[in-house]
Amino acid sequence: LARHERLLIALAIGLVVASLAWFLAHSVARKERARDAGDGQGEAR
């Protein structure tokens, strides 16, 4: 069980880090697009 618990914890941490990195990357990309376009409202993801 110890190994399984460690694997689950590692997977959970990995998912959290990956999701945070993805969210930050997309938020930064949106801000840069908004700056370049001047208006970021009607853009597709």
29 in Cβ contact with 21 (< 8 Å): no
Domain with 5, as residue range(s), is 1-34
- DSSP-derived 3-state class of residue 24: helix
Q: Region 25-33: what's the mean pLDDT?
A: 86
So what's the pLDDT on residue 12? Answer: 98
Q: Region 34-39: what's the mean pLDDT?
A: 73
Position 3 in a domain: yes
Position 43 in a domain: no
> Cα–Cα distance between 41 and 31 in angstroms, integer?
11
Q: Which two tokens stand for residue 21?
A: 């990195």
Position 10 in a domain: yes
pTM for the predicted model, two decimal places: 0.57
How far out from the chain centre does Cα 39 lie?
Answer: 23
So what's the pLDDT on residue 35? Answer: 78
Amino acid at 19: S
Give 21 or 29, the one with higher predicted confidence. 21
Position 22 in a domain: yes
Position 39 in a domain: no
Q: What are phi and psi of 22, to 5 degrees?
A: -65, -45
When divided into structural domains, the chain yields a total of 1
